[in-house]
Amino acid sequence: APIRLRDYRRPPWSVDTVELDVDLGIDTAEVTARLVLRRDAEQSQPLRLDGEGLELLAISLDGRALDANSYRHEDSVLEVDGAKDGSVLETRVRLKPAANTALEGLYLSGSRETGFLLTQCEAEGFRHITFFPDRPDVLARYTVTLRADRERFPVLLAGGNPNGAGELEHGRHWARFIDPHPKPSYLFALVAGRLKNIRRDYITADGRNVALVMWSEANVIDRCHYALDALERCMRWDEKAYGRNYDLDVFHVVATHDFNMGAMENKGLNIFNAKYLLADPDSSTDEEYRAVEAVVAHEYFHNWTGNRVTCRDWFQLSLKEGLTVFREQQFSADMNSPSLKRIEDVSLLRRAQFPEDAGPLAHPVRPAEYREINNFYTATVYEKGAELVRMLAGSLGPDGFRRGMDLYFERHDGQAATIEDFLSALGDANSVDLMPYLSWYGQAGTPRLHAHGEYDAARKEYTLTLSQHTRATPNQPEKTPLPIPVKLSLFDHSGNVLPLHTDGQTPETEKVVVVSKASQPIVFRHIDAPPVPSLLRGFSAPVLLEYGYAPAELALLLTHDPDGFNRWEAGQHLAFLAFDSLHAPTDNDACGAWCDALASLFHGRAIDDALLADLMTPPGEIEFADRQTEVDPAKIHAHRQELQRRLAAHIGIETLHARYHALNVGGDLKLDAGNQAKRQLKRRVLELLALVDADGAHALAAKQYESATGMTDRLAALGVLVRQRAPQAAKALAHFRERYADNPLALDKWFTVQAQVPGDAALASIRTLEIDPAFTLKNPNRARALFGTFASGNPSGFHRTDGEGYRLLTDRLAQLDALNPQIAARLATAFNGWQRLESVRREAARTALVALAQRGGLSRNLSEIIGNVLQH
């Protein structure tokens, strides 16, 4: 049965202090836990602790060994008789780290001979380590003592401050860590093995000396410097922007190649997927550098939004994740370009979250129920959650939001809080009621904001009517109107922004209207001619805008809006119209308007190269599919290519060649924004050129591949060659394979790029790649590089009419599920939206899904996803 938000009860038993003694070994580890128990005076349930896959070796209560009839150990629960408030329970269990392929709890990263041990506890991994009330509202003080063979495990780390270390008999040693801050069990972590480090001293704004230490295996430690710099930057930023200081004497960060997600904010001991920690020009792209900076900041920011103030229960996950994503977005915008960052984040939202909201897996930012919490670390909880915080921050303004956050920390430091607590603190600090925003947290689905303008020439009035509607989602047929902040401006037909006169206001050029009813008119006075509205500026709310723009109006905004993000928005909207006009030509030549506007920006050279590259990129295939009901991914791919081909033809082969050469500066690799922008535009130009002058572009790409001084240029060139199946592709691939044989993160890209081959050729490519000796389903990054890319990043390759893509994926999901249910469930979300496929593919998808469901024996993770996808 599902777990429901409305069933929340305070913990009947909690834990004051935990003493963990861990004897580490590759095959087995023994964990002794001494828990000082606290009983809730108003509840009388017996003591029940969570535990999964633990072999119980010993158990005692208040110093007395328990006989077999005073406790019951069934499946995942340990029930103990006779515990009182203040009792001390001691258990000893045996674990099998090397046999743990689920990468949850204590597991081995790398080989038995050279690998190291580490833990992952969020959300419910701690119960795989010891018996415990494994829920985030049980906050305890941890003392952790690690013991292991010194030669095999020279480095022993746990969260908190170091508190002694020493030698033991038989070549063993020990190390102790005490965490002074009470924390939930999901923030526990330990690491043990042969690791190297780089370190730096840091003094917090409030005067604490902190040792910042990055750890990795010896061969990649040189690639941790960029992350260490990023850590220092984000620590300073949090001190300034939010007045938040770090609160331990050490901050350890560890990189692993075997990790189920991006990274984890364990108190004082962050653990990172190497993909988000290691960076060097030879193996990382510019985009990956930005991702490292963003994830380092995200995990660091959790120290306050997540750790100091944690979540009462897992339904509140977005309390820490949405808020922390938002904080990271602000930081990254400050470090880089705000408009480019906003473009990146909004396109991610549209690519990953809008489809979620529109399909069988739709759920509110605060879900009402779940079976497997790991399935709810979604784009909705993270990215839409961040958009909700952005709306709140926007409505309070920078100073008001800071006041609200200060009060939130003041009130809830050391507590496990709720979304309501968050809204109350922000509201109370500013004497406003933010509770109407709570409905955003409880309602699934992307609202549609419909806008309609009427111009009254006689009265010189422009009336904009804004109405909202949210379609039904699974288990949520009825929707209520939400408060939607719509930031808007009006432009005249020469592209000048107009002063806005509304009742009783002094005129401004930009205004926020909060639409909270089903439909709301707003009147602008002293308007001399029908204006062009620029709506939802900065993407002021996560909604789908419906406004019947004429192509010329969008072209005007694309050329004249002073804000880079809004220009991009206009361009995206125009690209949709252009796409539609390809197969239903109308009088309004949207494609012509799109090409004209972009060509003039391209020639004008007045805007930043990176922004230009973004403007010249139409929405992705998934976004086009999202607007259709009988989705044919092959057709969408072909039409999107045709759209780009027309743009390329309109700009002209000669002009593209000339710009390519102008951008191809050569020389030493530089990572500054200007050079990153050049590389990004160069890549776009090369991709466009490949559509109108394939031979010429392939020759350039082959040359670029050979002479590239960094991964950005090298991978861009390889991508063009491979996706276009150019004659030069094989040689480049062989070279890449050889060159990066010992670099798993770079090798992942070799798999990814080949899994992106569009159309029917993809399947053969996947079949060849999966028998490559370097392929393994056991490594999440590798499995994602191949099957994640194929199933979720290559619609025209995956959605074959013969259903072979679906059969291959479901077969592998069944295999993967036996190894790592979290990853299997994640990859299975590729079937989201199958009901909107055209009928041949739809039937093929249904058949494959039903066959998978009928295999039986699936994990709770995978069966929840498959069940939901089939049911709704």
What positions carry a catalytic annotation? 299
Q: Which stretch binds Zn ion (CB under 5 A): 282-290, 321-329, 607-615, 742-750?
A: 321-329
Give the C-alpha distances (Å, rounded to integers) separating 514 from 511, 676, 677, 846: 10, 38, 36, 42
Distances (CA, A) of 774 to 236, 298, 728: 41, 31, 23
d(CA 435, CA 437): 5
Work out whether 549 is an interface residue with ligand ARG (CB under 6 A). no
264 binds, among Zn ion, ligand ARG, none (CB under 5 to 8 A by kind): ligand ARG
Q: 122 or 179: whose CB is closer to ligand ARG?
A: 122
Coarse DSSP helix, strand, coil percentages of the chain, rounded to the nearest 5 percent: 45, 20, 30
Helices within 349-384 (DSSP H only): 354-357, 379
Q: Which does 122 bind (CB under 5 to 8 A by kind): Zn ion, ligand ARG, none?
A: ligand ARG
Cis peptide before 123 (omega within 30 of 0): yes
Question: Using CB under 5 A, which of the segments 323-331, 442-450, 734-742, 823-831 binds Zn ion?
Answer: 323-331
Q: Check residue 304 for interaction with ligand ARG (CB under 6 A).
A: no
**Size of the residue set binding ligand ARG (CB under 6 A):** 11
Interface pick for ligand ARG out of 238, 265, 387, 693 (rule CB under 6 A): 265
311/464 with CB nearer Zn ion = 311
Assign 3-class secondary structure to 459-483.
CCEEEEEEEEECCCECCECCCCCCC
> Which of 144, 264, 515, 532: binder of ligand ARG (CB under 6 A)?
264
Q: Among all chains, which residue has been given the structure tokens 């309070």?
A: 396
DSSP labels, 384-423: IHHHHHHHHHHHHHHHHHHHHHHHHHHHHTTSEE-HHHHH
Report the distance separating Cα 59 and Cα 190, nearest Å.
23
Of the pair 123, 732, the CB lying nearest ligand ARG is at: 123
Query: Binding mask 216-255 vs ligand ARG (x if CB under 6 A, - otherwise)?
Result: ----------------------------------------
* One-letter amino acid of 106: L
Does 596 help bind ligand ARG (rule: CB under 6 A)?
no
795 or 821: CB nearest ligand ARG: 821
- For residue 65, count other CB atoms closer than 10 A to its CB: 10
Tell me the window of 144-152, 313-321, 592-600, 761-769 that interacts with Zn ion (CB under 5 A).
Answer: 313-321
The binder of 263, among ligand ARG, Zn ion, none, by C-beta within 5 to 8 A per type, is ligand ARG
CB of 324 to ligand ARG, least distance (A): 7
Residue choice 137, 217, 258, 321 for contact with ligand ARG (CB under 6 A): 321
Give the separation between CA 508 and CA 207, rounded to whole angstroms: 44
CA distances from 265 to 132, 232, 261, 262, 645 (A): 20, 16, 12, 10, 45
Per CB under 6 A, the list member of 36, 205, 221, 261 interacting with ligand ARG is: 261
Q: Which does 357 bind (CB under 5 to 8 A by kind): ligand ARG, Zn ion, none?
A: none
Rounded to whole angstroms, the Cα distance separating 55 from 65 reads 17
Nearer to Zn ion, 324 or 796 (CB): 324
Q: Between the CA of residue 394 and those of 8, 78, 354, 405, 720, what are the distances in Å?
A: 31, 48, 22, 13, 41
CB 302 → ligand ARG: shortest distance, Å? 6
Nearer to ligand ARG, 132 or 750 (CB): 132
Cα 219 to Cα 207: distance, rounded to the nearest angstrom: 35
- C-beta of 326: minimal distance to ligand ARG in Å? 13
Instruction: State in angstroms the smallest separation of the CB of 317 from ligand ARG.
Output: 9
The number of residues in the chain equals 872
299 binds ligand ARG (CB under 6 A): yes
The CA distance from 144 to 634, in Å, is 56
Question: CA–CA separation, 26 vs 18, rounded Å?
Answer: 24
Distance separating alpha carbons of residues 165 and 250, to the nearest angstrom: 15
Q: Mask 115-144, x = binds ligand ARG (CB under 6 A)?
A: -------xx---------------------
| 377 contributes a contact to ligand ARG by CB under 6 A | yes
Query: Would you say 187 and 267 are in contact if contact means Cβ atoms under 8 Å apart?
Result: yes
Q: Which stretch binds ligand ARG (CB under 6 A): 263-271, 460-468, 485-493, 502-510?
A: 263-271
The nearest distance, CB 265 to ligand ARG, in angstroms, is 5
d(CA 270, CA 253): 5
Q: Kindly identify the residues of this chain, within the stretch 511-540, that bind Zn ion according to CB under 5 A.
A: none
| Cβ nearer to ligand ARG, comparing 185 with 374 | 374
For 733, what's the count of Cα atoms within 13 Å in the CB-facing half-sphere? 20
Q: Select the binding partner of residue 374 from ligand ARG, Zn ion, none (C-beta < 5 to 8 A, by kind).
A: ligand ARG
> What tokens were used for 221?
């430690």
State in angstroms the smallest separation of the CB of 301 from Zn ion: 8
- Kindly tell me which of 267 and 684 has the beta carbon lying closer to ligand ARG: 267
Least distance between ligand ARG and beta carbon 121 (Å): 9
Q: Which stretch binds ligand ARG (CB under 6 A): 257-265, 395-403, 443-451, 654-662?
A: 257-265
Q: 263, 690, 718, 848: which one contacts ligand ARG (CB under 6 A)?
A: 263
Residue 37 interacts, among Zn ion, ligand ARG, none and using kind-specific CB cut-offs from 5 to 8 Å, with: none
CB-nearer residue toward Zn ion: 324 or 446:
324
Scanning 489-627, the segments in alpha helix (DSSP H) are 551-560, 564-583, 590-604, 609-615, 621-626
Residues found near ligand ARG in the complex (CB under 6 A): 122-123, 261, 263-265, 298-299, 321, 374, 377
Residues found near Zn ion in the complex (CB under 5 A): 321, 324
